[in-house]
Structure 1
Amino acid sequence: MDDKPDSAAPEVGPSPGVDAGAGLERRAELSEFLRTRRARLRPEDVGLPHYGRHRRVPGLRREELAQLAGVSVAYYTRLEQGNGRNVSAEVLDSIARALRLTDAEHAHLTHLAKPKHKKRQSAPAQQVRPSLRQLLDTMDGVPAYIVGRRSELLAWNRMAAAVFGDWSRLPAPERNWARLVFLHPETRDLYVDWEQKAIDVVLSLHMEAGCYPDDPRLSALVGELSVKSEDFRRLWATHDVKEKSHGVKLLRHPLVGELALRYESFKVADGSELTMTVYHPEPDSPSVESLRLLASWGADATRTGSGSPTP
């Protein structure tokens, strides 16, 4: 038999959590996250019968999800409409299990429904300790940098400037991975798989939006990118979240050609919410020689990009 679409479910499209002027809205973010997670599950994925081929609802119906989570349809509907007030951790755990959320998605749901950080006018500026800057500079043969909240590039070494570009020449607000990836054509050209890099940036921003939905600078960044980049709007509307701590990036460098670099990202364990990322080539690969050449060619030209950028 046919299913009727959920009467209150919005059409699939750009997320209501993205507003050209306001950027983020926590209730809309919660609503869209739950709706998109529900839409990706099929009844047969969770052991429910599938009635007919002409199912109009993408994924599970609200009634089916509520049944799996052990809550009333009315209760789940209120939550999916963005009303997470007074929801218990136990209920969120049940819904996360029913939706088959990953650990990162479960944490994101909890942050959206029960934010730990109170609304504030502006988050304090992040500082990179001198010892961390010195550590970056000791990594003389490989690119390394430190990123803060909102994907802001706060410090980097000489090799990062040689590989990714001299960020010190940019105005301080432009030293931001999200702006570089979506608004700077030269950064798009640098990545062989630009789409995956763009996805990685959006995944990270969504995670942060869950932790700090009321951060005005993050809201402004999302609003700006939503206005200026169709690609950003498309990727933001998926509401996907995932923590990525390692991987491989293929770069198309204008001087040395293709670079294949592995990367590892580490949270700085001092409560500063800083992340250090270090790239390295596979031993005996062509990228080893390419980095060596960049180090020798770019020593003078990129030294201004070393770990102490000026605003």
Structure 2
Amino acid sequence: MTTSQAAGQTVAGRIGDFLRARRARLQPDDAGLAALPGRRRVAGLRREELAQLAGVSVSYYTRLEQGHSVNASDAVLDAIARALRLDEHEAEHLRELAARRPRHLKQPPPERVDSPTRELMRSLGDVPAMVLGRRTDVLAWNPMARALLAGHVDPAAPDRLEDRPNLARMLFLDPYIRDLYVDWEYKARAVVGSLRLVAGRHPEDALLASLVGELSAQSQEFADLWGDHRVQPCEADRYRLRHPLVGELTVTQQLLAVARSPEQSVTVVTTEEGSAAADSLKLLSRFAGPGTDGKAGADRPLRYPTQG
């Protein structure tokens, strides 16, 4: 196997890494099994116990976990998914890992936002919205999204390929973003779980491999979450934010698929009608509007109280 092939497998995670991580979550009692005799040397289910639950031979399951069985049927994979109590997203991830062949890493073309998506962004008005690429790159945002989530970042940064903001990178390496999310750990797990799904679908993505390598080297928290092999899509969830200008507010972040660019999504931030959070967003819109220098909020960085 070449170096690039090995790197591609590492970023997505080999099937054995995923299966071992999921086995470690279950105990024999959880699956209704009597524990096998002898001292348990591994956390969770043993290979023999999982093979019994899935109805396959121990030798076959061992070959699969070691990556030596490349023709596992859907029926076998479904049986293993049931034995491990995988949800639909984890089961899909298992099938992708089982079907994958070693590939060379490739430099993907730059992601760009098409005109209809930009028109959609403009039509949202004061509703915070941003376009995310498949690696959580911020491809575009409106003034309210930047003011709410990253007012300290250059407004024009998404338009520059060389230094586009990246949500995962900011979440783990930017102190402002860490402070913004009251339950930072919950948000971090969600973002890493979503990246895991993307890595399973695109193991050849050199830019994703580079991002994972960078974050693994600079953040032990990211490395630990990545090594846990949990997968989950980021679709819709509620978060409490601690904003430096308008205080604490609870928002819902929803990801809407872009029909003509299925690898992209529009993240829309909403609040409950008539809530204090809705009032906070209205207040924030004043900061995102024209300033005393005559420039619109989209053209200047926001100044927080700590900045003087």
Shorter chain as denominator, the TM-score bin is 0.7 to 0.9
RMSD: 2.5
Deviation by residue 1:141-174 (Cα, 9 ceiling, x = unmatched): 2211111111111111111011012443546445
User: Where does structure 2 lack aligned partners over 5 or more consecutive residues?
Assistant: 291-295, 301-308
26, 31, 40: which one aligns with 1:46: 31
TM-score (norm 1): 0.84
Give the alignment of 1:41-120 within 5 angstroms: 41-50=26-35, 55-115=40-100, 119=104
State whether residues 89 and 231 of structure 2, in contact with CA within 8 Å, keep that contact through their aligned partners in structure 1.
yes
**Post-superposition shift, 1:89?**
1.9
1:214 aligned to 204, 215, 218, which one?
A: 204
- Percent identity, aligned pairs only, is 46
- With the length of structure 2 as denominator, give the TM-score of the two structures: 0.85
Which residues in structure 2 correspond to 1:1-311 (within 5 Å)?
22=7, 24-25=9-10, 28-50=13-35, 55-115=40-100, 119=104, 121-166=106-151, 167=153, 168=155, 170=157, 172-300=162-290, 301-304=296-299
2:304 aligned residue: none
1:4 corresponding residue in structure 2: none
> Is the alpha carbon distance of 1:213 and 1:224 closer, same or farther for their aligned partners in structure 2, counting shifts above 3 Å?
same
C-alpha displacement at 1:92, in angstroms? Answer: 1.2
Aligned AA (1:199): R
| Residues 117-126 or 33-42, more deviating | 117-126
Q: Is the contact between residue 248 and residue 263 of structure 1 (CA under 8 Å) also seen in structure 2?
A: yes
Unaligned runs of at least 5 residues, structure 1: 1-18, 306-311
Number of the residue aligned with 1:5: none
Is the contact made by 1:266 and 1:277 (CA closer than 8 Å) also made in structure 2?
yes
1:178/1:201 contact within 8 Å kept? yes
Q: Structure 2: how far apart are the matches of 1:191 and 1:28?
A: 28
**What is the aligned residue count?**
286
Task: Give CA deviations for 1:32-59 in whole Å, capped at 9, x if unaligned.
Answer: 1100111111112222113579533311
Range with bigger deviation, 280-289 or 161-170? 161-170
Structure 2 vs 1, CA of residues 39 and 255 (structure 1 numbering), >3 Å: closer, same or farther? same
